[in-house]
């Protein structure tokens, strides 16, 4: 006997569906988004340069992520902020030496189970052959919405991705710092241009909202937070570090994960609609992970998910390397050890990067000497690319070259006038050295607060320098002094060429320097020498086709035995002030 009419039955079924729907959407969903960034090749818990175990690696991160995934009360999304194709011999080997197999880094990221990653500037630095191949090997999207094709304006990489966890739809929008053309030669990023991050964010947030209707919008940016870095400001177009600007000016983001500056961030800011936006970012080299803990509750009245977000930074030194990870990639570990263990020459003296932070040094002048000999230039500029490196006398191996020269820069020969060279040195001396009031003052140009006190780095509690040490350029080929009692513009006195010939400010000279500097990195050529950015490319007379470290290695192999020594072609004066200032600041930064 049928007790219910068809109409009644339909009503009952509808009520039943509504009941179960209410049950589903009355639940709470816990989501944890975990980000590493700027891993810089820190795959294994081992330093190929120092030949010892380390306390930070993706092998340790694997142990952490396994632990988090074992918690069935939460959903996990795993992200990387980019810059993973540069930094250690492990990635260099698979970038440029062992290229006939899948890249070790793509295999490892696939194995760990990343859901998305942003493209970093040091990933682009490897060149099309490396990053295009790498992109094809990844089993997850590699994002950079503001890196667009010059041919049609469409993104070169995927702009965003949608990740679903239970009923939650999460949109991940990726972007890269737009300063690539200021650092890298055109052929490395040919076919692309890099748009302003604020403008790009506005465009893509609108598209994502209309097309995808996500419950959460996440920015995954390879860019820093401090938009004043490098003498920029909030209105600087294509700002290098635009994360905070995007968070404040582009409504729609719930969380932005940052990177690039290696600072580590866990802050909130308000956007133009007075909504809080979480800014999170790990530091670098798999030392830690940035974590967004998100609780979703369904608002039945509004028929939408509400989220509560807290941030955290989790250090990896407390985790042991995952044994399954180590077993799987042990072969690659041994291959890289064999590569870096090859002898290339012999040093009769030890060299330390520490001396180069305060003045003329054998560490820097070895590179300057190689650059002059390789190019035949009149003058060479370079900076210490390590802060605390030390290469002991004795046999020199491939691994030591990664201490001596950390980055994959090309070597340029450029044409500069004598006046531009002088102004270049004025600029570097200003960002490097303090204008000392007397011999008891600081030698180095530290950042100070309004009261004149030194500002300390949060990560290492060291005094913060106005500029990074890799911008402390010195010259070889000319003899000169830097008077730190004088103001910017009146510090540098070029006496002559080191061979005794006269130096003229109105004459053109050939200058050797790396491609980062030659493309405007550090602003030595633009703000310092006063050369318009668009003119820099025209000044390049020659460029190597491989990275400078490769040529330094070949030079050492040909020389066989090297006696590193400072050219002593320049000095800081007054010398008594320099000596006391150096002693004082050495204790501060190398305590």
* Per-residue pLDDT tens over the stretch 150-164: 999 999 999 999 999
Return d(Cα 570, Cα 560) in angstroms, integer.
Answer: 28
Whether the per-residue pLDDT at 13 is higher than 50: the answer is no
* 342-589 CATH: 3.90.780.10
Residue 239 and residue 260 in contact, taking contact as beta carbons nearer than 8 Å: no
For the segment 526-546, the average pLDDT, to the nearest whole number, is 95
Q: How far apart are CA 510 and CA 518, in angstroms?
A: 13
Residue-wise pLDDT for 544-556, tens only, equals 989 999 999 999 9
State the pLDDT confidence band at 6, using cuts at 50, 70 and 90: low
Other beta carbons within 10 angstroms of residue 171's beta carbon come to 25
Mean pLDDT for 214-243 is 95
At residue 302, the pLDDT reads: 86
Same fold, 27-336 and 342-589: no
The predicted pLDDT at position 27 comes to: 85
Looking at the predicted structure, is the pLDDT value of residue 21 above 70? no
Q: Provide the H-helix boundaries in 140-258.
A: 180-183, 197-212, 243-249
* pLDDT higher at 544 or 10: 544
Which overall architecture, per CATH, does domain 27-336 show?
4-Layer Sandwich (3.60)
Stretch 401-415: mean pLDDT, rounded? 94
Nearest Cα to Cα of residue 44 among 281, 332, 338: 332
User: Token pair 């204008």 is at which residue?
Assistant: 435
Q: Name residue, tokens 């469409």.
A: 154
Average pLDDT over every residue of 491-506 = 98
Q: Does the pLDDT value for residue 17 go beyond 50?
A: no
> Residue 20, class by beta-carbon neighbours within 10 Å (0-12 exposed, 13-18 middle, 19+ buried)?
exposed
Predicted confidence at residue 19, as pLDDT, reads: 47
Residue 357 is given by DSSP the state: G
Q: What is the pLDDT of residue 428?
A: 98
More confident residue, 3 or 559: 559
Domain map of the chain by residue range? 27-336, 342-589
Helices (H), 143-222: 180-183, 197-212
State the pLDDT at residue 460. 73
Instruction: Decide: helix, strand or coil at residue 235.
Output: coil
- pLDDT for residue 4 is more than 60: no
More confident residue, 245 or 229: 245
pLDDT at 341 over 50: yes
DSSP-based three-state secondary structure for 214: coil
Q: Is 273 left (phi over 0), alpha (psi -120 to 50) or beta?
A: alpha
Q: What pLDDT is attached to residue 10?
A: 47
* Residue-wise burial string across 200-224, b where 16 or more C-beta atoms lie within 10 A, e elsewhere: bbbebbeebeeeeebbbbbbbbbbb
Per the structure block, which two tokens stand in for 93?
């080997």
pLDDT tens for 62-86 read 999 999 999 999 999 999 999 999 9
Please say whether the beta carbons of 194 and 272 come within 8 A: no
Report the SS3 class of residue 250.
coil
Structural tokens at position 497:
């060429």
Angstrom distance (rounded) from CA 296 to CA 169: 11
345: confidence class by pLDDT, cuts 50, 70, 90: very high
Question: What is the overall mean pLDDT for the chain?
Answer: 94
Half-sphere exposure of residue 48: CA atoms within 13 angstroms, side-chain side: 29
Sheet holding 276-281, edge to edge: 160-165, 168-176, 216-222, 255-257, 276-281, 265-270
Pairing of strands 75-80, 52-53: unpaired
Given a contact cutoff of 8 angstroms between Cβ atoms, the answer to whether 146 and 194 are in contact is: yes
Q: For residues 350 and 362, give the distance between their C-alpha atoms in angstroms, rounded to a whole number.
A: 9
Is 50 exceeded by the pLDDT of residue 1? no
Cβ 260 vs Cβ 38: under 8 Å: yes
Q: Among 100-114, 165-179, 442-456, where is mean pLDDT lowest?
A: 442-456
What's the CA gap between 261 and 241, in Å, rounded?
8
Location of structure tokens 């030591």: 400
pLDDT at 230: 81
Write the CB contacts of 457 (distance below 8 Å, at least 6 apart in sequence).
Answer: 463, 464
d(CA 348, CA 394): 6
Run of H or E residues at 500: none
Q: pLDDT tens-digit profile of 410-437?
A: 999 999 999 999 999 999 999 999 999 9
Q: What is the pLDDT of residue 124?
A: 97
State percent of the chain over pLDDT 90: 90
Does residue 229 surpass a pLDDT of 90?
Answer: no
Confirm if 162 and 214 have CB atoms less than 8 A apart. Answer: yes
Model confidence at 11: pLDDT above 80:
no
CA dihedral 126, 128, 134, 139 (to 10 degrees): 130
pLDDT digits (tens, 9 = 90+) for 200-224: 999 999 999 999 999 999 999 999 9
Q: Is the pLDDT of residue 23 over 50?
A: no
Mean pLDDT, residues 18-40: 77
């Amino acid at each position: 006997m049928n007790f219910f009419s068809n109409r009644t039955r339909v009503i009952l079924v509808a009520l039943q569906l509504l009941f179960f729907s209410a049950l589903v959407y009355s639940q709470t969903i816990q989501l944890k988004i975990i980000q590493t960034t700027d891993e810089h090749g820190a795959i294994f818990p081992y330093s190929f340069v120092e030949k010892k175990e380390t306390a930070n690696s993706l092998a340790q991160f694997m142990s952490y992520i396994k632990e988090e995934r074992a918690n069935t009360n939460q959903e996990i999304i795993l992200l990387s902020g980019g810059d993973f194709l540069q930094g250690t011999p492990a990635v260099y080997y698979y970038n440029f030496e062992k290229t006939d197999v899948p890249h070790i880094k793509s295999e490892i990221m696939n194995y760990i189970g990343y859901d998305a990653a942003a493209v970093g500037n040091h990933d682009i630095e490897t060149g099309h052959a490396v990053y295009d191949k790498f992109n094809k090997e990844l089993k997850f999207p590699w994002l950079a919405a503001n890196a667009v094709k010059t041919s049609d304006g469409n993104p070169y990489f995927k702009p965003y991705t949608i990740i679903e966890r239970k009923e939650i739809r999460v949109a991940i929008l990726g972007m890269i710092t737009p300063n690539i053309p200021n650092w890298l030669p055109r052929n490395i990023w040919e076919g692309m241009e890099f748009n302003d991050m604020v403008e790009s964010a506005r465009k893509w947030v609108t598209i994502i909202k209309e097309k995808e209707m996500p419950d959460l919008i996440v920015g995954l940016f390879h860019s820093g937070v401090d938009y004043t870095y490098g003498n920029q400001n909030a209105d600087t177009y294509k700002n290098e570090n635009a994360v905070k600007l995007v968070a404040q000016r582009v409504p729609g983001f719930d969380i932005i994960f940052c990177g690039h500056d290696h600072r580590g961030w866990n802050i909130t800011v308000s956007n133009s609609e007075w909504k809080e936006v979480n800014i999170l970012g790990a530091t670098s080299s798999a030392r830690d992970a940035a974590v967004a803990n998100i609780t979703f509750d369904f608002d039945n009245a509004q028929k939408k998910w509400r989220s509560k977000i807290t941030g955290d930074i989790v250090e990896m030194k407390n985790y042991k390397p995952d044994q399954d990870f180590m077993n799987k990639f042990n072969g690659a570990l041994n291959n890289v050890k064999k590569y870096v263990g090859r002898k290339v020459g012999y040093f009769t003296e030890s060299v330390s990067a520490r001396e180069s932070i305060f003045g003329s040094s054998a560490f820097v002048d070895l590179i300057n000497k190689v650059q002059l000999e390789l190019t035949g230039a009149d003058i060479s500029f370079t900076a210490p690319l390590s802060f605390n490196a030390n290469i002991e006398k004795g046999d020199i191996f491939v691994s030591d070259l990664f201490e001596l020269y950390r980055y994959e820069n090309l070597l340029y020969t450029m044409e500069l006038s004598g006046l531009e060279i002088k102004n270049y040195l004025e600029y570097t001396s200003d960002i490097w050295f303090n204008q000392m009031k007397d011999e008891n003052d600081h030698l180095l140009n530290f950042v100070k607060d309004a009261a004149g006190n030194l500002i300390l780095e949060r990560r290492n509690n060291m005094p913060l320098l106005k500029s990074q040490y890799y911008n402390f350029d010195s010259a070889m080929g000319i003899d000169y002094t830097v008077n730190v009692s004088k103001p910017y513009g009146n510090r540098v006195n070029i006496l002559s060429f080191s061979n005794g010939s006269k130096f003229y400010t109105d004459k053109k000279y050939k200058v050797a320097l790396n491609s980062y500097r030659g493309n405007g990195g550090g602003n030595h050529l633009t703000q310092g020498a006063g050369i318009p950015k668009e003119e820099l490319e025209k000044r390049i007379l020659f460029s190597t086709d491989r990275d400078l470290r490769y040529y330094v290695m070949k030079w050492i192999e040909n020389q066989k035995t090297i006696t590193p020594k400072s050219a002593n072609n320049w000095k800081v004066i007054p010398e008594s002030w320099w000596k006391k200032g150096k002693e004082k600041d050495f204790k501060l930064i190398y305590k």
